[in-house]
Amino acid sequence: MTSVRAGNRLRAKVWRRTRLREARWPGVPVTSSGDTGYHIDMRLPTAREREYLKDLVVVLTQKEIQLRYKNSWLGYVWSVANPLMFAILYFVAFKTFMRIDIPRYSLFLIAGLFPWQWFANSISAAPNIFLGNATLLKKVRFPRNALVTPTVLNDGIHFLCSIPVLVLFLFVYGSRPAWSWLIGIPLLAVGQFLLLYGFALTIASLNLFFRDLERLTTLVVTFLFFLTPVVYSESMVPAQYRAIVYLNPAAPIILSWRNLFLVGDLNWPLIAAGFAHAGVILAVGAAVYRKLCWKFAEVV
Amino acid sequence: MIAIRFEHVSKSYPRYGHLLAGLKFSLLRFSETFRAFKRDRFMALNDVSFEVKPGESLGLIGPNGSGKSTTLALIAGVLRPQVGNIEIRGRVSPLLELGAGFHPELTGRENIFLNGILLGLTRREILSKQDEIIAFSELEPFLDQPVRTYSSGMVARLGFSVAAHLDPEILLIDEVLSVGDLKFQAKCRQKLDDFKRRQVTIVLVSHSLGEVRGFCSRVVWLKSGQIVADGAPDAVVPLYEKAMA
With beta carbons less than 8 A apart as the criterion, state whether A191 and A277 touch: no
* CB spacing of A211 vs B20 below 8 angstroms: yes
d(C-alpha B9, C-alpha B84), whole Å: 4
Please enumerate, as own/partner, the contacts of A180-186 that have beta carbons within 8 Å and a separation of 24 or more.
Answer: A180/A260, A180/A264, A180/A265, A180/A266, A181/A260, A181/A264, A183/A266, A184/A256, A184/A260, A184/A264, A184/A266, A185/A160, A185/A260
Instruction: Return the residue of A nearest to B100 by Cα.
Output: A135
Number of cross-chain residue pairs from A and B with Cβ atoms under 8 Å apart: 133
Residues of B in contact with A211 (CB under 8 A): 20, 22
Closest by Cβ to B120, choosing from A33, A35, A142: A142
Name the pLDDT band for A6 (thresholds 50, 70, 90): very low
pLDDT exceeds 50 at position A24: no
ipTM: 0.83
Task: Report the DSSP pairing between strands B57-61 and B201-205.
Answer: parallel
pLDDT of the residue at A198? 97
pLDDT-wise least confident of A289-293, B131-135, B140-144, B183-187: B183-187
d(C-alpha A153, C-alpha A74), whole Å: 20
> What's the order of all strands across the beta sheet hosting B4-14?
B41-52, B4-14, B83-88
Task: Report the DSSP pairing between strands B4-14 and B218-223.
Answer: unpaired
Closest by Cβ to B100, choosing from A23, A136, A212: A136
Query: What sections of B61-107 are H helices per DSSP?
Result: 68-76
Total-model pTM? 0.84
Q: How far is CA B106 from CA A158, B103, B140, B180, B186, in A?
A: 20, 6, 15, 21, 28
* CB spacing of A212 vs B92 below 8 angstroms: no
pLDDT-wise least confident of A56-60, A234-238, B116-120, B232-236: B116-120
Residues of B in contact with A19 (CB under 8 A): 82
pLDDT digits (tens, 9 = 90+) for B149-168: 998 888 888 888 888 888 88
d(C-alpha B85, C-alpha A56), whole Å: 30
d(C-alpha B26, C-alpha A218), whole Å: 21
Instruction: Return the residue of A nearest to B78 by Cα.
Output: A141
Query: b or e along B63-97 (b: 16 or more beta carbons within 10 Å of the residue's beta carbon)?
Result: eeebbbbbbbbbbbbbbbbbbbbbbbbbebbbbbb
pLDDT digits (tens, 9 = 90+) for A182-215: 999 999 999 999 999 999 999 999 999 888 899 9
Burial of residue B140, with CB atoms counted within 10 A of its CB: 0-12 exposed, 13-18 middle, 19 or more buried:
exposed
pLDDT exceeds 80 at position A278: yes
pLDDT of the residue at B24? 63
d(C-alpha B218, C-alpha B214), whole Å: 11
pLDDT exceeds 60 at position A35: no
Residues 198-237 of A with CB under 8 A from B: 209-213, 216
